[in-house]
Structures are given as C-alpha cells and as structure tokens.
A and B are shown apart, each in its own frame.
Chain A
C-alpha cells in the first residue's frame, strides 16, 4: 500500500515535470529560431530595430549584433537547464520590452515590419505579433514563478537538513 501510494505520488509529480520540460523546450526552440534568423542577417535586424524609432541608429545597430545571440544563449540555457533562472529572466525581460515597443509603435502609427522573427515576420499583422508575444510572456512568467518556487523549496530543504 505504501509502495503503491509512493508510486502514484511519483507518477503524478513526474507528469507535470515532463509537461513543463516540454514547455521549456518549445519556448527555447522559439527563441533559438528567432535568434538564429536574426543573427544570419544582423544588418536587416538593425533596420528592423530602427523602424521602431525608439533608439538612435548606432545603439540599435549594436543591439542587432548582440540580441540575437542573447536569445540563442538563453534558449540553450533553458534546454540544458544550466543558468536556467538567468535565461528565463532575460527572455522575460526581452519579450516584455519587445511587447511594450510593439504596442508603442502601433499607438504612434508606425508601420512595423519587425517581429519576434525579425524581417521573416514582416507580413504578420499587429494582432499576430501581440498574440505570440503575450503567449510567450505568459509561458515565461509561469516558468519563472515555477522555477522560483522550486528553488525556494530546494533552499528550504537544504536549510532543514543543516538544522
């Protein structure tokens, strides 16, 4: 009975873990893909950033060389689960900034040709951009809260063992 109960507990605790792992990989794949296509053509990405009319050209051009790699490395961190919290928090910050920039551009009536996937998503409309961004942001926040909770639990267990 005890063994059966522990098995059930083991299985139920494993199922969500497996699901979250899939979510990790999907989110990571999206960002790695998005980063890779932008890293392939940073000059185009610089023009896409400039299209938002938020940053001076020089800053945008510098970011165009940096951000794609940041996305790729953070995506990889999610897959290999090393520097996981750092990766999650950076991606959450990136998507939040991007979301605000997209909405601000729309409000200012700018014709945005840049999306999460750089120039590849130029034909997406505003709703498509917004939906994907919100989905990504939601998933990232959930993963962040979850991993934060796991981290606190592990920390608590360690403290309990010491005392």
Chain B
C-alpha cells in the first residue's frame, strides 16, 4: 500500500509539473523571480520625499487607518473600495507625476497590490512602492 500510495502521489506530482513549467515559461516576463516588487519599483522615504510635488502619495491601508493618520496630501486608494476610490485618484493624477504607494509596514501586501493594479489595470507608469510603508515614514518624520 505504501508503495502504491507513494507511486500514485509521485505520478500526480510529475503530471502537475508539466503545465506548471509551461505556465512559468509563459509568464516569465510578467513576474519578477528575485523579489515581489522589482528593485526598480521600490522607493525609500528619503527618495520619495525628494520628489516633492512631483509625487502623488497613495495610502493603500484600510479607510479607518487612513482616517486616523496619513502622509500629508496622500490619497486613499485601497482594494476594499477600489472602484469607488480609483476615479477620485485619477482626477488628481497627471502623467508626469510619480506615484508612491504605501501600506502599514514592510510586511504588508496592500501597497504591492494597489501598485500592481495601478500598473496593470489602470495602465499607469511611474508607480513605486514605499519601502517600510507608513511605519518607516513615521520613523523618518
């Protein structure tokens, strides 16, 4: 039984490898294999601040956290109310401006998600994710 079970599991695991590898080849240019966000799309607080008025700050945290406190001038754009907030953001956006998206900390995922959607769905360029997020911004305040 042990042999049969292991054998069956191995066959299934091997079969699954084929479409998986095929898909990975197909998506090879759409994913960064080194880090979740390519280094070129990350920005530090110091760098983002240096952009001054050329940057639009986007707060990807939930509404309640945004309401509590946020980077001065930042616009709220989270996934919970994406459809509602995106038009408000686009009204403020201009092509020459750099977009800096942040969430609560280095470990959060929301900023990457919002940056990815701005890039892929809204077809915007110059979208950056803030390293360390809101926590880092507070430290460098």
Residues on A facing B (Cβ under 8 Å): 39, 42-43, 46-47, 50-51, 53, 57-58, 61-62, 65-66, 68-70, 72-74, 77, 83-87, 89-90, 110-111, 113, 122-123, 148, 151-152, 155
Complex contacts, A84 vs chain B, CB 8 Å: 8
Residue from A69, A89, A90, A111 with most neighbouring chain B CB atoms (10 Å): A69
Complex contacts, B113 vs chain A, CB 8 Å: 47, 113
CB–CB A86/B12 < 8 A: yes
CB–CB B12/A77 < 8 A: yes
CB–CB B34/A69 < 8 A: no
Complex contacts, A53 vs chain B, CB 8 Å: 107
* B90 CB → nearest A CB, Å: 22
B20 interface residue, CB < 8 Å from A? yes
Distance in angstroms between the alpha carbons of A109 and B24 in the assembled complex: 31
Distance in angstroms between the alpha carbons of A12 and B86 in the assembled complex: 60
B35 interface residue, CB < 8 Å from A? yes
**From A42, A62, A68, A86, contact of B5 by CB (8 A):** A86
CB–CB A87/B109 < 8 A: no
Q: How many A-B residue pairs have CB under 8 A?
A: 95
Q: Is the interface of B mostly helix, strand, loop or mixed?
A: helix
In this complex, how many residues of chain B approach chain A with their Cβ under 8 Å: the count is 36
**From A58, A66, A83, contact of B11 by CB (8 A):** A83
Complex contacts, A85 vs chain B, CB 8 Å: 1, 4-5, 8
CB–CB B109/A51 < 8 A: yes
CB–CB A57/B35 < 8 A: yes
**From B6, B109, B116, contact of A111 by CB (8 A):** B109
* A69 CB → nearest B CB, Å: 4
Complex contacts, A111 vs chain B, CB 8 Å: 108-110
CB–CB A148/B1 < 8 A: yes
Complex contacts, A87 vs chain B, CB 8 Å: 8-9, 12
Distance in angstroms between the alpha carbons of A83 and B16 in the assembled complex: 13
The answer to whether residues A58 and B12 also contact, given A47-B112, A51-B109, A66-B17 and a CB cut-off of 8 A, is no
CB–CB B19/A58 < 8 A: no
